Structure 1
Amino acid sequence: MSVKIALTLLCLLPLSANAGVYKWVDANGQTHFGDRPPAKAASSEVTVKASPASVDAGARERHQKMTEFLEQQQEEREARQAAGAKAEEKAEKQAELCRKLRARLKHLASVSTFYNINDQGERVYVNEAENTRIREDFRKKVRSTCGNE
């Protein structure tokens, strides 16, 4: 952005030539100025002081609007990048969760029967209908979370 500002300021400054300015008086007494000294007359080099460039209010306002626009564009770009990074992080977490759920679903398929632990700490095996319901409930959970098995 600083390059654009520098270029804008450069355009606003007057360009001064490196060639010298010469002053001489001709035979009729008229004073002349030129970038080359005359061959037949005595001349002296004159230092020309360029007045500073004046920037009108309209140019200043356009420059301010351009600067504000560029800053707004930068802020919006940074906001989009931050939102993209956040969405990517969320997608990675979702993918990891689905990987774990699918691994657990695969493990459930290999288990022949499920059990609960009663108050005495003993295993109480569930019946076949309950086994099927547990597997189907978990499949539904994986589908709703990950979209498919």
Structure 2
Amino acid sequence: MQALAIQVLASWVALVSALWIADLAVAAEVYKWVDEQGKVHYGDRPLPGAQSVRLKDVPEVTPIAGEREEKRERLLQVFKEQRQEKREQAEAQKKQKEERERNCNLAKDQLRNYEQAGYIYDIDKKGNRVIYDEEKQAAAVQQARDAVKQWCGKT
């Protein structure tokens, strides 16, 4: 919101400046007169007794203002791209964290099941249970602990 306000203000200042400079270039004819109290006045319309005054070099409208606007637009685009990149990084980190938490919970559940089970088994190709011996069961429990350590960062 603040960036938009700054952008609008900058555009407004640029427009007013450009109009003012253009007005000076168009209204290069300036008149000078002195009123009854002896006060000197200047204006763009001749009044009775006014003298035409030649102005020193009137600034011309240059392409510099256009270049500045171009640079400003490029800078704003870079800022926009950086904000988008940060949003994408934050989103990727959030997804990674969620996946890590999900995998951690699954690993904890698996370890709890293995530790509480009287025995662990696999299903063979015929659909029969193949019960692990003590060594294979200990290896499965250790593998589950390693998974918890990997995904949760603890044992």
TM-score (ref. length: structure 2): 0.63
AA in 2 matched with 1:101: A
**Aligned-partner Cα distance in 1 for 2:45–2:125:** 106
The 1:119/1:70 distance shift into structure 2, 3 A limit, reads closer
Counterpart contact for 2:119–2:137, Cα < 8 Å: yes
Q: Tell me the equivalent position of 2:79.
A: 73
**Aligned-partner Cα distance in 1 for 2:123–2:95:** 38
1:111 to 112, 117, 120: 117
Contiguous gaps of at least 5 residues in structure 2: 1-6, 24-30, 38-42, 47-58
Structure 1 residue 13: Cα displacement: 3.1
1:136 aligns with 2:142: yes
1:7 aligns with 2:13: yes
**Aligned-partner Cα distance in 2 for 1:114–1:7:** 76
Give 1 or 2 for the bigger CA radius of gyration.
1
**Aligned-partner Cα distance in 2 for 1:7–1:132:** 76
Q: Deviations over 1:97-129 (max 9, x none)?
A: 212211221121111211233455443322212
Contiguous gaps of at least 5 residues in structure 1: 17-30, 40-44
Relative to total residues, which structure has the larger helix share, 1 or 2?
Answer: 2
The 1:128/1:78 distance shift into structure 2, 3 A limit, reads same
Identity %: 19
Q: Tell me the equivalent position of 1:88.
A: 94
AA in 2 matched with 1:68: R
**Aligned-partner Cα distance in 1 for 2:126–2:105:** 35
AA in 2 matched with 1:128: E
Q: Tell me the equivalent position of 1:102.
A: 108
Structure 1 residue 33: Cα displacement: 3.6
**Aligned-partner Cα distance in 2 for 1:98–1:113:** 23
Count of paired positions = 124
The 1:78/1:3 distance shift into structure 2, 3 A limit, reads farther
Structure 1 residue 47: Cα displacement: 5.5
Structure 1 residue 2: Cα displacement: 3.5
AA in 1 matched with 2:79: Q
